[in-house]
Amino acid sequence: MSKLDQEVCRKGTCSAKWNAHHLRQIPDDAIPLWVADMDFPVPPQVTEAIRKRTEHEIFGYSLVRDCYRDSIVGWMERRHNWQLEPNWIIAVPGVVPAINLAINTFSETGDGVLIQPPVYPPFSSSVLNSQRTLVTNPLVLRGNKYYIDFADFEQKIIDHQVKIFVLCSPHNPVGRVWTKEELQQMGEICLKHNVLVVSDEIHHDLAFSGHRHLPFTAVDERFAENTIILTAPSKTFNMAGLQASNAIIPDSALRENFSKAASSWGLAKVNTLGLVATEAAYRHGDQWLDQVLDYLQGNMEFVRDFLARRLPRVKLVEPEGLFLLWLDFRGLNLSVEQQEELLVHRACLWLIQGHSFGQEGAGFARLNSACPRPLLQQAMEQLEEALR
């Protein structure tokens, strides 16, 4: 039995995942497999670094030190074979705030901003809340894998004079880890039409074996002139609540403008414990991550196998990474309300309904599989029982 099989009770800890049922009219006993955090404790070195820092007992404003940046540079080199300069890194409190900041700083009201639905819902809300025009290049499902329609991608950029493309790489929720060729083709089109690429790479460390994540500017150094990469240790090490993320911007003019805007928006300060935890995770988290990745891949295979053998009408879109599984319920022919009734009230599961990721997601649901396998098994059995 793996250590990760052990359930850690998160009830009563203010965990959004485990304690928000009443806010969303979800039955109290529904198994929460929705928001994207994991039910696993962080690497012990992270806990230890936080414990040590709290002993100091003063939590004033913190500086981002060289050793913080160096820990990120070392991680990117080791894990992604990516050489970056420490001064490219700007610490920010979150990836979503950084997306909003980039949209507001590098485009004007009404400008087109392109996304690829079905995709993480704050992408569209960031565009719409900023009074930009939402332009979509829907991903295309062929077999059980999603692809990019490049002709549509370029045409939409031309037709809507798109200024910014918000890329999700790897992609939440469809689980693609984009190939070099796919990234290259998107990057060439964006260069040609002078489109800024905001590449959200928050899931970068979570590629399954056989797949390799490529940082966008590592694909082609020419892409550095029009790219902002957003990363964080939050998904990798399960520390979203510590609110420490990083914008990585090789181009000095882009970086300066982003940095000025971050200061004026009050987004230049990062949580003190977040900085400490990030550095510890990036310095010491390799072994922990390798074990967790193995376990996550095992969870994914468990769900794939369960569906194939016991629930063949529900299909798993084959994921290449991430702990978020995109389940295709279209074979059941249910309305949005019927699917909600099935999942929440009959199966007693709290998943995210597919239409939240854009209309292209209707008929799907996203299941967060980063939990102990016995709980995942219970969830799948409840689904089987509900469908009987």
Ligand X SMILES: Cc1ncc(COP(=O)(O)O)c(C=O)c1O
Calculate the alpha carbon distances from 316 to 146, 210, 307, 344 in Å: 12, 18, 7, 19
Is 55 exposed, middle or buried (CB count within 10 Å of its CB: 0-12, 13-18, 19+)? exposed
Residue nearest to ligand X (CB): 94
Answer yes or no whether residue 328 interacts with ligand X by CB under 6 A: no
Taking CB under 6 A as the criterion, the residue among 234, 236, 246, 272 binding ligand X is: 234
SS3 309: helix
Q: Which of 153, 83, 84, 168 shows the shortest CA–CA distance to 120?
A: 168
**One-character DSSP codes across 132-182:** PEEEE---EEETTEEE--HHHHHHHHHHTTEEEEEEESSPTTT-----HHH
Specify the residue, 202 or 267, whose C-beta has the smaller distance to ligand X: 202
Q: Please tell me whether residue 278 binds ligand X under the rule CB under 6 A.
A: no
CB neighbour list of residue 143: distance below 8 Å, 6 or more residues apart:
none
For position 168 contacting ligand X by CB under 6 A, the verdict is yes
Residue entry with tokens 């806010």: 23
Q: Can you tell me which of 72, 73, 91, 94 binds ligand X, judged by CB under 6 A?
A: 94
Minimum Å gap between C-beta 130 and ligand X is 15
For residues 295 and 4, give the distance between their C-alpha atoms in angstroms, rounded to a whole number: 8
- Does position 169 bind ligand X by CB under 6 A? no
Residue 202 sits in the site that holds ligand X (CB under 6 A): yes
245 binds ligand X (CB under 6 A): yes
Nearer to ligand X, 245 or 339 (CB): 245
**Angle ∠(240,246,248) on CA atoms, nearest 5:** 150
Of 48-56, 70-78, 90-98, 282-290, the window that binds ligand X (rule: CB under 6 A) is: 90-98
Among the listed ranges 147-155, 232-240, 249-257, 359-367, the one in contact with ligand X (CB under 6 A) is 232-240
Q: How far is the CB of 313 from ligand X (least distance, A)?
A: 28
Q: Output 71 or 246, the one with its CB closest to ligand X.
A: 246
Q: Are 216 and 183 in contact (CB under 8 A)?
A: yes
Q: Which of 124, 137, 172, 246 binds ligand X (CB under 6 A)?
A: 172
- Residue 235: CB minimum distance to ligand X, A: 7
Residues of this chain that bind ligand X (CB under 6 A): 36, 94-96, 120, 168, 172, 200, 202, 232, 234, 240, 245
